[in-house]
Amino acid sequence: MNNEIMYCPLCKSKLVFKKYVIVDGICGDERRGKYSCEKSNCEMSNLDSFWDDQGSFYGDISFKRCRELFPNNEYGALNSIAKKHEKTIYKKGLKSKKELHPIFCLFLLKPYIEYYYDADYWGNVTKKWYKLHFLKRNEQGKFSYHYISGVSSFLFQLKCYNRNKKFYKKHKSDYSIKALQDNFEEFNLPEWDKRWHRLLFKFYLKTFEKNTKQELLKIQRKKQKAKKYNIL
């Protein structure tokens, strides 16, 4: 049961807990609290519609009327996680992205700006930022594939490696060792993989991470020796 007071998004009146119901959730049937609006002159109180304890709406209302009452599909309960997600995840009532002309990339790529938002439980936007992304052409020549630059790919690999290394230094468990060893599998690039960012990451590991590699090899040999003599 939700301890926070939620409010009807139409009339702004307090929602009242009725009982527990079974709803169709992401992982199957889930037990949720049922909240209803009891203001007599509110249209939502005269329908068999309700909100669960997360603020999600379950409506016994026609699609046409629902769009009239909530033009931007913002029917989550006020002061709820569902109302927050309407802005932060689904961007309801907000600008999602702005497409730019491919001429800016000499028609090789199509740039677009994607907008991101943070909001409170009342649906008020508290933070806004944006990122520049690119689309590349498919086999039919249409811009449809998300493009990631080689620089971004290299930095992502480096970030993952440093994170795994930091975790390994702090917790020398089988899991952390395995995670770091997986990064060193970059040494075994397939014959077809000649992407420069992969080759650069391989060079980085081989040049600057020799000691870490040797340390992992020693641990591996020690485990193999212990296993051979049934020590482990």
Both 163 and 222 in one domain: the answer is: yes
HEC assignment per residue over 68-122: HHCCCCCCCCECCHHHHHHHHCCCCCCCCEEECCHHHHCCCCEEEEEEEEEECCC
- Is residue 5 in some structural domain? no
- Residues 143 and 157 grouped into a single domain: no
* Axis crossing angle, helix 174-183 with helix 150-170, rounded to the nearest 10: 150
E strand map for 183-222: none
User: Could you report the per-residue pLDDT of 152-191, keeping only the tens digit for each?
Assistant: 899 999 999 999 999 998 888 888 888 888 888 766 777 7
Largest Cα–Cα separation, the chain: 80
Does the pLDDT at position 28 exceed 80?
no
Judgement on whether residues 44 and 74 belong to the same structural domain of the protein? yes
Model confidence at 196: pLDDT above 80: yes
pLDDT at 30: 82
- Together in a domain, 103 and 65: no
What percent of the chain is predicted at pLDDT more than 70? 94
The residue among 26 and 201 whose pLDDT is bigger is 201
Q: Are residues 72 and 37 located together in one domain of the fold?
A: yes
- The confidence score (pLDDT) of residue 51 equals 94
Asked whether residue 132 falls in the same domain as residue 178, the answer is no
Q: Band of the pLDDT at 213, cuts 50, 70, 90?
A: confident
Q: Specify whether the CB–CB gap between 45 and 60 falls below 8 A.
A: no
Residue 2 lies in a domain: no
**Residue in this structure with the two tokens 């998300």, named with its chain if needed:** 146
pLDDT band with cut points at 50, 70 and 90 for residue 194: confident
Average pLDDT of the segment spanning 117-127: 97
Q: How many domains does the chain have?
A: 3
Q: Which of 147, 163, 182 is the last residue of a domain?
A: 147
Pairing relation of β-strands 50-51 and 97-99? unpaired
- Do 195 and 126 fall into the same domain? no
**Do both 196 and 134 map to the same domain?**
no
* CB 35 within 8 Å of CB 17: yes
186 lies in which domain range?
Answer: 151-228
pLDDT for 22: 84
pLDDT digits (tens, 9 = 90+) for 80-106: 999 999 999 999 999 999 999 999 999
Residue 2's closest CA among 77, 36, 49, 52?
A: 52
Out of 147, 162, 186, pick the residue that ends a domain: 147
How many other CB atoms are found less than 10 A from the CB of residue 131? Answer: 10
Query: How far from 171 is each of 105, 165, 174, 177, CA to CA, in Å?
Result: 45, 10, 9, 9
- Residue 6 domain-assigned (yes or no): no
pLDDT at 230: 63
| Continuous segment of H or E residues that includes residue 164 | helix 150-170
The pLDDT assigned to 48 comes to 77
In the listed set 115, 132, 147, which residue is the last one of a domain according to the structure? 147
**In a domain? residue 3:** no
Do residues 155 and 141 both lie within one domain?
no
Question: Quick one: which of 42, 1, 36 has its CA closest to 20?
Answer: 1
* Residue 180 shares a structural domain with residue 211: yes
